[in-house]
Every structure is written in structure tokens, then in C-alpha cells.
Structure 1
């Protein structure tokens, strides 16, 4: 989504009248752009393959598959506002991280409040991602000062009197530094020294066991005394 102030939205409801009611409210809201309407979960699942959607207005009770079934089948779930005539699903709805749960018939103030929640969450996520992407340190490599974006740093490997920085989509960077001094430059909540010769970016870890970490199919050893710290860091 290029403009965080506009949410591309879609309606999923087997009732044409209910879809029309939601359409009218969407058209009144300057921060919403309606990109699709679907009348069942199967249509929606197929449609989402071709149409990017930020926000779903989703009915729950529909033929064949429910709204919950739809979300269970989606790998990448849009933000969701449930719109239903029943109150009994409200508790379950929030197991799906729903933005809100609206009762039919819709009321304009409740609809707008739910949309504002979606906009607020989108803005917060964009701000967090932007801050993370701009998080960097400076290092000196081959007598040149270089900016290293921490989000692109996969792991650090000891190399004698140097450390080697293994990056996403770029060649390794070799820096004159000890592991201890370089570790002190990295945020401890995102990087962990898992071995005397390795520091890893916790967000890059794909798999791990008692002996190894896997990052982009590369195996990195884990010291025996670092197993507990690694498990705790990844679980949190």
C-alpha cells in the first residue's frame, strides 16, 4: 500500500442488500477505496490472488465456508472487520486478530470508529517498519566509512582480528574489530551471540535446534551454554 491514509478494501457477504449497505458507508469515507465485492469465501480466496486488499469487511455465516474458514485458508490475511448479525461469534472473532466486530444493521458511527482503528494500526505498522529499515550503524571497511542497515545484516562471523558481516543481497563486509566490540554496537533485543565466532540477527533465523541455526540455508553453530538464551530470545 503506497498511501497509508487510503485502505484498499473489499466486502465479503452473501447478501446483496448487506453489501450495498456497506458500499454506501465506504463511499462516505475518504480513507477507503472499494476494490472488490464477493458473495462467498471461495470467490474471495480466488479473488485475493489477483487483487491486493488491505481491509476486509467480512460476514461470518455464509454458505459452504464461513468467514472463519476463509481466514484459516489465507496465508496472507488482510486486516479484518467482521460484519455479522450475530453476537455469539464475537469472542472467537478476536482470536483472528480482528480490528472490530460490527453488528448488522450497521451504524455509521460504529463503522467509522472501526475504520479509524484499522487506519491507526496501519500507520503504526508503517512507522515501525520505516524506523527499522532506517536503523543502521557505521563501520570502517577497506579504509572507507560504510553504513550498515541492521535489517539487512544476517549474521556476523569472527575472522581473526576482523569480523565478517554477512548481508542480504550484497557481498560480505570485513571490518577490523573484535567480536566483543562489534557486539556492543548491536541492539541486544535483535542480535544474539550464539557462539564465540557468531552473532545472529534473530529475525533472520528460519530454523534451529540444539546444535545449529539455519539462516538462508546456511548452518551456524550454537554453543552449549547459549541454547537457553537462544530459545528464550526466539520465543519472545
Structure 2
């Protein structure tokens, strides 16, 4: 079915290589080609703001190479690296990429890579409820955050603070951008400066909610939406 296809993009500075990979994607029944880009700068915004499941990524590109592009992402999809040089293979798997394709790419090798990506997707889906996580950039390094451990998120100007069960994590992001990374049925923005994990709410009134003993302000026009969201959580 269409909804089960992996949303895929291609990032490669070679127009001929992009065309070749794009055709392979379009011909594959389990992939949906969302976009193609000739550099990582252009691709970054799409990946950060939209759901992308798989990236075919060239290693050697101007301005931002493939590895630098991966490091720039706060939420990393599956990556299949493409290169003409086998020398990058060791480094590639340090980045936990799904596969590593050498140019020129054959259909047989391409299909094998996609099979790996589909397997990883299916395996992740089996454990998503209890193991779902994201990676965030904090203090110049990537930090793995288990989504269910987040209690609330607080807006602090150009930054947000993730308050989790174990730590407070400062991340350079807007509230609007970050909430898109979270499951909509589990998190709600209840105030211009606060997003809460609905499953962590202990009690609430017309003006505030209590999470982990902290009183968090509740915008007046969000009260009805909160009540409906909590009801849905209880019924799941």
C-alpha cells in the first residue's frame, strides 16, 4: 500500500547520479521519492521539518560532505551512502548507516540495500512503543533521548529545554520545529512556552497542569484540547 512506502530523498551533487538513483527509487514498489537535492544545505531543511524515512546520500559533496550532513541532523533517518571510493566503508558504518553503495550502482545491489532498509523499518516498528527515541544536538554532541522519558519541554528563546526522567537537556531549536519530531497523540503544546507528555500529567486545573510535581501554566484556550487529548490517551 502507498502508506507503507518509505519516504525517500536523494542528495548528490551529480545530476546524472541523481537521475539514475531517482529512477531506481521510482521503479521500486516500496519507495516514495519525495525530493532530490544537489547539496546537503538544501536537503537539511526538508529532513528537519518533514518525515523522511530513507536518504540516498553521496559522500563527496562540496560545502557539506555526506558525513557532515549526517552530523547536522537532529533526527537521523536511515542512510544509504553512495560513493565511487571504497575507502569510506569503515567510517560509514561508524555512523550506523543502513548500507554503502559503490558507483556505478546496479539494480541488484540497489534492491539489496532497500531490502535492508525495509527490514530495519519492520524491526523498529515491532518495538516502537517502548523503545522509540530521537537524537538531539546538545553541547556539541548528539544525545539519544527516549521519547517516553520526556516529561515536558520548555521554550527558552532560541533554545528549548527537554526535562526527562534522568536529565535536563538544552537544545538549539524552536518549539514549533521540535514538536513535529514527537508523536502527536502523546504530546501537546499547552502554552506558548511548554509542551507536555500527556502520559506524565498527574493532575490539572483550568490554569495549570502538574507534571513530576512541577506546576506548568495552561493556556485558557488549550484546556478543552487537553481534556480531549487525555481522554484519547486513556482509551488507547
Q: TM-score range by the shorter chain?
A: 0.5 to 0.7
Q: CA deviation at 1:168?
A: 2.5
Q: TM-score, normalised by structure 2?
A: 0.56
With over 3 angstroms needed to count, the CA separation of the structure-2 counterparts of 1:13 and 1:132, relative to structure 1, is closer
Matched, 1:69 2:79: no
Indicate the residue corresponding to 1:86 in structure 2.
Answer: 85
Indicate the residue corresponding to 1:126 in structure 2.
Answer: 125
Alignment of 1:32-181 (within 5 A): 32-130=31-129, 168-171=199-202
Whole-Å separation in 2 of the counterparts to 1:15 and 1:216: 52
Indicate the residue corresponding to 2:182 in structure 1.
Answer: none
Aligned length: 146
With over 3 angstroms needed to count, the CA separation of the structure-2 counterparts of 1:132 and 1:38, relative to structure 1, is closer
1:90 counterpart SS class: helix
More helix by percentage? 2
Whole-Å separation in 2 of the counterparts to 1:65 and 1:80: 16
Cα distance per residue 1:16-63 (max 9 Å; x no partner): 000000011111110000001110111111222333210000001001
Whole-Å separation in 2 of the counterparts to 1:18 and 1:79: 20
Q: CA RMSD in A?
A: 2.8
Q: CA deviation at 1:130?
A: 4.1
Cα distance per residue 1:122-151 (max 9 Å; x no partner): 111111124779xxxxxxxxxxxxxxxxx6
Q: TM-score, normalised by structure 1?
A: 0.56
Whole-Å separation in 2 of the counterparts to 1:72 and 1:132: 22
2:48 counterpart SS class: coil
Unaligned runs of 5+ in 1: 134-150, 156-166, 173-214, 219-236
Moved more, 113-122 or 45-54: 45-54
2:97 counterpart SS class: coil
Whole-Å separation in 2 of the counterparts to 1:170 and 1:51: 28
Cα distance per residue 1:93-125 (max 9 Å; x no partner): 001110000001101111111101111111111
2:121 counterpart SS class: helix
